[in-house]
Amino acid sequence: MKQPQETVLLTYTEIDSPIGPLVLVASPQGLCKVEFGTYEKNREQREQWASRWYGAFELIENAEQLAPVAEQLMQYFKRERDSFEGDLDLQGTDFQKRVWLALQTIPYGETASYKHIAEAIGSPKAVRAVGGANNQNPIPVIIPCHRIIGANGDLVGYGGGLPTKVHLLDLEQRSLLT
Q: Which residues are catalytic?
A: 145
Secondary element (H or E) of residue 166: helix 162-173
The alpha helices in 82-161, defined as continuous H runs, are 94-103, 114-120, 127-135
* SS3 call for 61: strand
CA distances from 164 to 97, 103, 168 (A): 23, 18, 6
Containing 113, the helix (H) or strand (E) segment is strand 112-113
Q: What are the two backbone dihedrals, phi and then psi, of residue 33, each rounded to the nearest 5 degrees? A: -160, 140
Burial of 90 (0-12, 13-18, 19+ CB in 10 A): middle
Cα(101)–Cα(58) distance, rounded to whole angstroms?
27
Handedness of CA 117, 123, 125, 128 (dihedral sign): negative
